[in-house]
Amino acid sequence: MRKLILVALIILLILPAAFAAGQKGTAEASAKTVTVFGAFVDEEARRFEEAIKPFEERTGIDVIYEGSKDFETLISVRVEGGNPPDIAGLPQPGLMVNFASQGKLVPMWSSLIATIDKNYAPVWKSLGSYDGTPYGVFHRVNAKSFVWYPKKAWATAGYQVPTTWNELTALMDKMVANGHTPWAVGIESGGATGWVGTDWIEDIMLRTAGPDVYDKWVSNEIPFNAPEVKQAFDVLGKIWLNPKYVYGGTNTILTTSFGDAQRPMFDNPPKAWMHRQGNFITGFFPENIQANLTDEVGVFPLPAINDEFGIPVLGGGDQFVVFNDRPEVRQFMEFLATWESGESWAKAGGALFPYLNQDLDAYPNEIERSLAEALVNAKVFRFDASDLMPAQVGAGSFWTGIVDWVTGKPLDTMLNEVQRSWPK
Amino acid sequence: MMERRIEGKNLGAQALVAIGRVAVSLFVPIVAFVILWAGFVFLRDSNASQGIIALVAIIWGVGGVAMLFWVADWVVNRLPVMAAKKLQPFVFVGPALVILAWYLFLPTMRSLYLSFFDAQSKTFVGLANYVFAFTDSKMLESFVNNLLWIILGTGGAVGFGLVIALLADRSRFEKVFKSLIFMPMAISFVGAGVIWRFVYAYKPAGEDQIGLLNALVSLFGKDPQAWFTLRPWNNIFLIVILIWLQTGYAMVIISAALKGVPDSIIEAGRIDGAGEMRIIRSIIVPYIFSTLVTVSTTIIIISLKIFDIVFTMTNGNYGTEVIASMQYKQMFRFYHYGRGSAIAIVLVIAVIPVMWYNLRQFGKREGF
């Protein structure tokens, strides 16, 4: 009996080996696959898969996309562990620089670089480069410098879209005089709480100090507690820290999730009348608003503060980088650098693309079309500073600094702390 | 199995037998290893359906362990008796020791090593990371908060656990009460965090309050509060969650110990005229003291490494930072391996005295 059990056990153990042998064969015979790992999930992941279908149908290459909300942690673990995906969509250029400096990435090859030069504005190529070598291809991008408002309520109240900062402040005061609350703001975002505030500061920095100072700020050539930064916080503080200007005051700013923050705009009557956020926010609007987006919602770029710098556009995007160099991986990267890879997602909505030769008619409504136009035509485009700064600051002390400042910490103390946290 | 020949006649034959035995002794482990390796390769590379993979993993995992033991035991038994006796214990303890060394001891040593290096683990920086760990304002805040977690969290959970166990012991509905109190134990810390977010949720005055606490506050005509931003109370709001989760554990263990207090001693106390409080203080608590210590140390360790609740609720904002969440941020968000490792080592060192005390208690009682 004991022998019998042993024999059975051994057979059971050998079985998988037979499987393994069979498996090898089938894997060889089946289609080539490319694994892609990214930060977007659910509906966005579905739209991405939809967008790459033309490629899969044309080439027969199977592209397996896997998304995770903990992408930034997991990608490092996977790369460290020697198990990187073929391609990863990095939401932060800093991650690309990190991997590129460690020699983990495959640099872009000449035919792809030619495609990038043809299809993108130069800023995207330089954002995807480390030490002069391009490593990344941008696909879906976002632009953040927009103010959304409930169109119908505005028409009834007789509010006009402001084109200068003075007009904006005048409008805010007019709203307060009418008993309205101008802004809806919420910065809660779980482990990333505070990033909404960093976006505001960056937009204001670009408008008060200009792109050159902005770049120096990003690289810490001017310290975080420089007068220019302080000035940006002062401009923001005039809005955020004034309970008349923001719905619910600072407590609501701190505890409302960034996605829900826009909701008070769509109450009847609106509890707040403006909301500054990136193009993705339309996906968070109530369903009845989304169904009628162009009738219900208006949008304008955050006005210029200093005429010298005009209306810059602040944004970000996922750049795709290569870890494993194989022909099918290269083929897919070349595809991502073309408008074809974005078209169906643009049609589905909720995404902007940077391609110069894109067909603006593909966007499903007037609003997204105008955002895409603003993005492609912007004279000054800057990447989200907090994504460019060292993680210690950009994903750490800058976020918490915003939270501390809104909670009441003195501005100078907070700015000094952020500067101190900058890695030497 | 053992055959001994005293005569030195068939030396050649003996040598052949010995070689044969050695060969067989080597052959079997090699076959076992090949089989295990094939299973590993299959699990790693296969894209068969999930069901098959799960099945193979179960067979491979359980069967593999059984086979390893059997093969090792078999090999050891083929050795001379004296050697077999000496080696036998290691067949059973060995794998556990190897796994402990591989998954716990080596990583700890590596963390210790990395803690003396910079963010990329390239340049030696001496004690700089430890200087950071003991001087950074967020770290100091974390130490104070962790102390708060240890005192209030452990005190609360053990205190409530003791009181509930004592009361339940005297109740007809003991089983029902204990089941209810024990239930949160089945909820993960992250799950508890999500649940309690709804308790503490905040909306501006005038809106529907979806948070339980603010709904109650509004009911009494007061303004709703953003609980998470109220320093220093927000720490206590978070600690309440730990107490809610751990009271059940404390209660169950203490309750079991209570059943072991002999009735005769309590009776004797009663006859001597002791009141109920006096009996609890002078008889029951001393009697179950070692259980209280064990429960307390376990919860102290949980409080020391508390992470999930803080991370899901406040992310360490508003002065609620704790050591473990600082470690996570340094390691996985800022990619500062040196600081992350240094904080991990500080945490390990902080846990050691508690562990040591706990083990000493174990030793005294000779078993759990």
Choice among A11-25, A34-48, A84-98 with the minimum mean pLDDT: A11-25
For residues B255 and B321, membership in a common domain is answered with: yes
Q: Which of B63, B226, B318 sits opposite A12 (nearest CB)?
A: B63
Listed residue (B310, B143, B344, B331) closest to B234, CA to CA = B310
> Quick check: B333 contacting A, CB < 8 Å?
yes
- Residue-level pLDDT at A21: 47
The per-residue pLDDT for range A100-149, each reduced to its tens digit, is 988 999 999 999 999 999 999 888 998 899 999 999 999 999 899 899 99
Q: Chain B: nearest CA to A16, how far in angstroms?
A: 5
Residue A401: closest C-alpha in chain B = B317
- Residue-level pLDDT at B164: 93
- Residue-level pLDDT at A240: 97
- Residue-level pLDDT at B133: 94
Asked if A397 and A421 count as a contact pair (C-beta separation under 8 A), the reply is: yes
Residue ranges of domains in chain A, CATH in brackets:
32-143+315-378 (3.40.190.10), 146-311+390-421 (3.40.190.10)
Q: Determine, yes or no, domain membership for B1.
A: no
The per-residue pLDDT for range B252-276, each reduced to its tens digit, is 999 999 999 998 999 999 999 888 8
The per-residue pLDDT for range A59-85, each reduced to its tens digit, is 999 999 999 888 888 898 899 888 999
Question: What value does the mean pLDDT take over residues A414-418?
Answer: 95
Residue A37, strand partner residues? A66, A88
pLDDT over 90 for what percent of chain A?
A: 66
Task: With CB atoms and an 8 Å threshold, state whether B39 touches A17.
Answer: yes
Q: Determine, yes or no, domain membership for B28.
A: yes
Task: With CB atoms and an 8 Å threshold, state whether B315 touches A10.
Answer: no
What's the mean per-residue pLDDT of chain B?
88
For residues B256 and B135, membership in a common domain is answered with: yes
**Which span out of A67-71, B110-114, B230-234 was modeled with the highest average pLDDT?**
B110-114
Domain count of the fold of chain B: 2
CA angle (B206, B211, B215) in 5-degree steps: 55
- Residue-level pLDDT at A50: 92
> Quick check: B70 contacting A, CB < 8 Å?
yes
Confidence of residue A24 (pLDDT cuts 50, 70, 90): very low
B-chain residues near A194 (CB < 8 A): 317
A-chain residues near B335 (CB < 8 A): 76, 98, 391
The per-residue pLDDT for range B286-317, each reduced to its tens digit, is 999 989 998 999 999 999 999 999 988 888 89
Task: With CB atoms and an 8 Å threshold, state whether B333 touches A391.
Answer: yes
Task: With CB atoms and an 8 Å threshold, state whether A403 touches B46.
Answer: no
Question: What value does the mean pLDDT take over residues A383-404?
Answer: 91
What is the interface pTM, i.e. ipTM, of the complex?
0.78
- Residue-level pLDDT at A23: 47
A-chain residues near B70 (CB < 8 A): 6
Task: With CB atoms and an 8 Å threshold, state whether A13 touches B39.
Answer: yes
Helix (H, G, I), strand (E, B) or coil at B112: helix
Q: How far apart are CA B329 and CA B316, in angstroms?
A: 10
Q: Chain A: nearest CA to B31, how far in angstroms?
A: 10
Does the pLDDT of residue B48 top 80, yes or no?
no
Q: Chain B: nearest CA to A373, how far in angstroms?
A: 34
Residue B48: closest C-alpha in chain A = A23
Domain at B236, CATH number? 1.10.3720.10
Residues 240-299 of B with CB under 8 A from A: none
For residues B102 and B140, membership in a common domain is answered with: no
Q: How far apart are CA A262 and CA A274, in angstroms?
A: 8
Q: Determine, yes or no, domain membership for B165.
A: yes
A-chain residues near B46 (CB < 8 A): 19-20, 23
Q: Determine, yes or no, domain membership for B331.
A: yes
Question: What value does the mean pLDDT take over residues B149-166?
Answer: 95
Does the pLDDT of residue A15 top 60, yes or no?
no
For residues B101 and B216, membership in a common domain is answered with: no
What's the mean per-residue pLDDT of chain A?
89
Residue B122: closest C-alpha in chain A = A102
A-chain residues near B229 (CB < 8 A): 251, 254-255, 407
Q: Determine, yes or no, domain membership for B120.
A: no
Does the pLDDT of residue B332 top 90, yes or no?
no
Does the pLDDT of residue A365 top 50, yes or no?
yes
Residues 46-65 of B with CB under 8 A from A: 46-48, 52, 56, 59-60, 63-64
Residue numbers of the domain that contains B92: 11-114
Size of interface A-B (CB pairs under 8 A): 108
Task: With CB atoms and an 8 Å threshold, state whether A16 touches B38.
Answer: yes
Q: Determine, yes or no, domain membership for B302.
A: yes
Q: Chain B: nearest CA to A215, how far in angstroms?
A: 21
- Which residue is it, tokens 């009776």? B267
Which of B114, B142, B176 terminates a domain? The answer is B114
For residues B186 and B86, membership in a common domain is answered with: no
| pTM for the model | 0.80
Q: Which of B66, B226, B311 sits opposite A254 (nearest CB)?
A: B226
For residues B224 and B251, membership in a common domain is answered with: yes
Which residues have CB under 8 Å from B365's CB, separation 6+?
Answer: B290
Q: C-alpha A389: how far from its chain's center?
A: 15
Residue A184: closest C-alpha in chain B = B204
B-chain residues near A96 (CB < 8 A): none
Q: Determine, yes or no, domain membership for B2.
A: no
Q: Chain B: nearest CA to A8, how far in angstroms?
A: 10
Alpha helices in A120-226 (DSSP H): 122-127, 151-157, 165-177, 195-208, 210-218
For residues B239 and B345, membership in a common domain is answered with: yes
- Residue-level pLDDT at A166: 95
- Residue-level pLDDT at B205: 83
Task: With CB atoms and an 8 Å threshold, state whether A23 touches B47.
Answer: yes
The per-residue pLDDT for range A198-233, each reduced to its tens digit, is 999 999 999 999 999 999 999 999 999 999 999 999
For an interface test with B, the pick among A251, A407, A418 (most B C-beta atoms closer than 10 Å) comes out as A251
The per-residue pLDDT for range B75-109, each reduced to its tens digit, is 888 888 888 888 888 888 888 899 899 999 999 99
Question: What value does the mean pLDDT take over residues A4-15?
Answer: 61
Q: How far apart are CA A115 and CA A319, in angstroms?
A: 15
Question: What value does the mean pLDDT take over residues A36-54?
Answer: 90
B-chain residues near A255 (CB < 8 A): 202, 226, 228-229
Question: What value does the mean pLDDT take over residues B33-42?
Answer: 89
**Segment (H or E) for A67:** strand A62-67
Q: C-alpha B167: how far from its chain's center?
A: 29
Does the pLDDT of residue B60 top 70, yes or no?
yes
For residues B146 and B52, membership in a common domain is answered with: no
In chain B, DSSP finds a helix count (H) and a strand count (E) of 19, 0
Q: Chain A: nearest CA to B316, how far in angstroms?
A: 9
- Which residue is it, tokens 């606490």? B213
Give the residue numbers in A contacting B (CB under 8 Å), as ranges: 6, 9-10, 12-17, 19-20, 23-24, 27, 72-73, 76, 98, 190-194, 247-249, 251-252, 254-255, 390-392, 395-396, 400, 403-404, 407, 417, 423
> Quick check: B69 contacting A, CB < 8 Å?
no
Q: In Å, how far are A125, A242, A338, B1 from A381, measured between CA atoms?
A: 13, 30, 20, 83
For residues B305 and B331, membership in a common domain is answered with: yes
Task: With CB atoms and an 8 Å threshold, state whether A23 touches B46.
Answer: yes
Helix (H, G, I), strand (E, B) or coil at B336: coil
- Which residue is it, tokens 């963010």? B119
Which of B67, B88, B114 terminates a domain? The answer is B114
Task: With CB atoms and an 8 Å threshold, state whether A9 touches B35.
Answer: no
**Segment (H or E) for B214:** helix B212-219
For residues B359 and A207, the model is more confident at A207
Which of B114, B136, B166 terminates a domain? The answer is B114
Task: Characterize A13-49 residue by residue with b for buried, 16 or more Cβ atoms within 10 angstroms of its Cβ, and e for exposed.
Answer: bebbbebbeebeeeeeeeeeebbbbbbbeeebbebbb
For residues B334 and B292, membership in a common domain is answered with: yes
For residues B117 and B3, the model is more confident at B117
A-chain residues near B38 (CB < 8 A): 14, 16-17, 20
For residues B150 and B261, membership in a common domain is answered with: yes
The per-residue pLDDT for range B177-217, each reduced to its tens digit, is 889 999 998 899 999 988 999 999 998 888 888 899 999 99
Q: How far apart are CA B355 and CA B301, in angstroms?
A: 8
Helix (H, G, I), strand (E, B) or coil at A52: coil
The per-residue pLDDT for range A306-362, each reduced to its tens digit, is 988 888 999 988 899 999 999 999 999 999 999 999 999 999 887 899 999 899 999
Q: Determine, yes or no, domain membership for B4.
A: no
Asked if A214 and A232 count as a contact pair (C-beta separation under 8 A), the reply is: no
Does the pLDDT of residue B135 top 90, yes or no?
yes
For residues B324 and B233, membership in a common domain is answered with: yes
